[in-house]
Structure 1
Amino acid sequence: MSLALARARLRASPRLAAVLLIAAIGLFWGGNWPAVRFALMELPPFTLRAIGFTTGAVLLLAWARWRRLPLAVPAAEWPWLAATGLFTILGFNLATAFGQLRMPTSQAAIIAFSMPCWALLLAWWLLGQRVTRRQGWGLACGQAGLLLLLGPAALAGGVQGLAGPLIMLGAALSWALGTVLIKKRGSWQSHAVVVTGWQFALCALPMIVMMLALESPPPPASWQASTWLALGYHLLFSICLAQMLWFMNVKRLSVAQSTISTLIIPTVGVSSAILLLGEPLTPRILIALLLTLAAVAIVMLHGQKSS
C-alpha cells in the first residue's frame, strides 16, 4: 500500500509542478499589465521598452553564459531569429505600450490575448493547417468578444476611440505572426534562452535610438516610488522570471498544453487593472473577457487533446 502511495506521489509531482508553473506565468504576466501602465505614467514608451529590452538581453544572455550554453547562433538561424523577434517582442511590446496610453488597460489585455485565435488563422494561411469546426467556433467567440469591445462606444469616439483598440489588435496579430514563423522555421539549433536573449538585444537597439531621438525621459532621481516599483516588477517578474518559467514550461509540456497559461493572463490583467488602476468592470467588459477566454480555451484545449 505504501509503495502504491509513493508511486502515486511521483506521478502527481510533475503535474503539480506544471500547474504551479502555469499559475506563476499567468500571475506574473497578468500583473505586468497594470505595472506597465503605472510605469507609462512617468516614462515614455520608447524609454520603457529600451530599458526592458536591454535588461532582458543582458540577464538572459548572462544566464545562458552561466549555464555554459553556446551564445553563437548559426548563420542560417539569424534571419529567422530577427524576424520572429521583430514580431513577438518588438511589435507586440511596443504596440501594447502605445495601446495602453489610448485605452483602459483591462480592455487592452482582452484584445491582446485574442492572439491564439489569430495564430490559428495565420497557421492555416502560412502552414496549411486545417481549421476544424470546433476551432471555427473558437474563432467566432473571439471575434464576438472583439466586436463587443469595438462596438458603438468605440465607434462613437471616431478615430480617437478606435486608435487604442486597433493598436492592440496589431499587437495581437504581431505576436501571432511571430509565433507562426517560429513554427514555420521548425527545429532550432540554438537554446531558447539564447534566441530570446539575442532577440531582446536586437530589439533594444532601435528602441534606444528612438528614445534618444524623440523622448526626454525624466532623470531616475526624480522618478516616483510607484514608477520604481512598477518598473522593478516589470523587469524582474515579466521580462526575466516569467520568461525563464515559460521556457521551463514549454520544455516540460507540449506547446498546446503550455500555452493554456495564456488563459490566466487576461483574467489577472483585467482583475488587477480594476483593483490597482480603479478601472470599472462593466457588463460589456465582462462579457468580452468571457468570450475571449472561451475562444482561447476552445482553440487550445482542442490542441491539447490532439497533441
Structure 2
Amino acid sequence: MATGVFWGGNWPAVRFILRDLPPFTLRAIGFTAGALMLLGWARWRGLSLRVAAREWPWLAVTGLFTILGFNLGTAFAQLRMPTSQAAIIAFTMPCWALLLGWGLLGERVRPRQWLGLATGQLGLAVLLGPAALAARSEDLIGPVFVLGAALSWALGTVLIKRRGQWESPTVVITGWQFALCAVPMVVLMLWRESPPSPIAWHGATWLALGYHLVFSICLAQMLWFRNVNRLTLGEATISTLIIPVIGVGSASLLLGEPLTLQVMMSLLLILGAIAIVMLGRRPPP
C-alpha cells in the first residue's frame, strides 16, 4: 500500500519538476541522489556494499528496465500528454507482466485473465479514443512513450522474479541500480541540456523534488524490489491498483486537469482489468 501511495503522488510531483528541469536533468539528479542516499544508508547501517559477480548482470538488466526505461519514458510522456492520462496507461503494467510471465516464467494464463487483458485493451481504446486513429504521428508520441515505459517496468519486474533469491540486501541492490542508471543520464544531461540555475527554480519545484527523491526514488523503489523478490508476481503487482487512482486524483487537484467521462471510464476499465488479472490468480502449489 505504501508503494502505491508514494508512486501515485509522484505523478503530479514530476510534472511540477518538469516545468523547470528537462527530462535528462531530472533523471540525472534523481538517480544520483537515490544512489547516494541508499548506498550511504546501507553503509551507515554497517551493510557491505559488495555485490557478488554473478548478481551484477541481473542487477544491471533489471535496473535498466525497472528504473531507467520506466522513469525516462514517463518523463518524456508527461511533456506531451496530460499527467492523468499518462498515469492510467503506465499502470497497465500488471497486464503486460502477466503476458511476459507466461512467456518467461511459464505461468499459465487462465480464461479469467485473458478477459482482464481484453478489458485493459478496451480501457486504452476508450482513453485514446477514435481520434487516435486519425492523429498525426507526433500526437501519439506521448502515449507511445508511456506504453513503452509500462512494458519496460513489466519486463524488469518479471526478470527480478526470474532471478529468484538475491544475496545482497535490497537497499544495496537498489542503490547500485540507481548508480548504474545515473551514468547515461548525466552524460545526456551534459550533452543535450542546459538546465536553469537552482536559484531560478520555483518553490513548487523544490517541494516536488524533495517528495520525488525521498518517497518515489528511495522508499517506493526499494519497497517494490523487496516485494517482487519476496511475494508472488500477482501479490506484488496488485499494490499498483491504487497508483493510477491517486495519480489521476492528484493531477486533477494539483494540476487542474479535468476529470472527463472519457478519463473516468478508461480508469475504471483498467482498474477492472488489473483486478481481474491479479485477483483471479491462483497461488502456486
TM-score (norm 1): 0.88
Candidates 137, 147, 161, aligned match of 2:125: 147
Distance 2:83 2:234 in 1: 27
Number of the residue aligned with 2:100: 122
1:96 aligns with 2:67: no
2:170, 2:222 within 8 Å by CA — same for their partners in 1? no
1:158-307 pair list within 5 angstroms: 158-246=136-224, 255-303=233-281, 305-306=282-283
1:40 aligns with 2:24: no
2:158, 2:233 within 8 Å by CA — same for their partners in 1? no
User: Kindly, what percent of the aligned residue pairs are identical?
Assistant: 71
2:60, 2:180 within 8 Å by CA — same for their partners in 1? yes
Q: Using the TM superposition, give the Cα deviation of residue 76 of structure 1 relative to its aligned residue in structure 2, in angstroms.
A: 0.9
1:139, 1:295 within 8 Å by CA — same for their partners in 2? yes
Alpha-carbon RMSD across the aligned residues, in angstroms, is: 1.7
Q: Using the TM superposition, give the Cα deviation of residue 249 of structure 1 relative to its aligned residue in structure 2, in angstroms.
A: 5.5
What secondary structure is seen at the aligned counterpart in 1 of 2:280? helix
What CA deviation, in whole Å up to 9, does each residue of 1:206-265 have, x standing for no partner?
000000000000011111111111111111221123334446656886553343220000
2:123, 2:270 within 8 Å by CA — same for their partners in 1? yes
Moved more, 160-169 or 249-258: 249-258
Moved more, 150-159 or 184-193: 150-159
Q: 1:245 to 1:124 in 2, by over 3 A?
A: closer
AA at the equivalent of 1:262 = T
1:40, 1:48 within 8 Å by CA — same for their partners in 2? yes
2:22, 2:195 within 8 Å by CA — same for their partners in 1? yes
Gaps of 5+ in 1: 1-21
Q: Using the TM superposition, give the Cα deviation of residue 298 of structure 1 relative to its aligned residue in structure 2, in angstroms.
A: 1.5
Distance 1:251 1:187 in 2: 7
1:52, 1:235 within 8 Å by CA — same for their partners in 2? yes
What secondary structure is seen at the aligned counterpart in 2 of 1:131? coil
1:107 aligns with 2:59: no
The structure with more radius of gyration: 1
AA at the equivalent of 2:8 = G
Q: Using the TM superposition, give the Cα deviation of residue 187 of structure 1 relative to its aligned residue in structure 2, in angstroms.
A: 2.1
Q: Using the TM superposition, give the Cα deviation of residue 106 of structure 1 relative to its aligned residue in structure 2, in angstroms.
A: 0.3
2:25, 2:193 within 8 Å by CA — same for their partners in 1? yes
TM-score (norm 2): 0.94
Number of the residue aligned with 1:28: 6
Number of the residue aligned with 2:53: 75
Gaps of 5+ in 2: none
1:150, 1:162 within 8 Å by CA — same for their partners in 2? no
What secondary structure is seen at the aligned counterpart in 1 of 2:106? coil
Distance 2:216 2:260 in 1: 28
Q: 1:121 to 1:251 in 2, by over 3 A?
A: closer
User: What is the total number of aligned residue pairs between the two structures?
Assistant: 284
AA at the equivalent of 1:263 = L
1:155, 1:161 within 8 Å by CA — same for their partners in 2? no
Distance 1:248 1:117 in 2: 20
AA at the equivalent of 2:280 = H
Distance 1:253 1:181 in 2: 14
AA at the equivalent of 1:306 = P
2:89, 2:150 within 8 Å by CA — same for their partners in 1? yes
Moved more, 70-79 or 183-192: 183-192
AA at the equivalent of 1:94 = L
Q: 1:247 to 1:95 in 2, by over 3 A?
A: closer
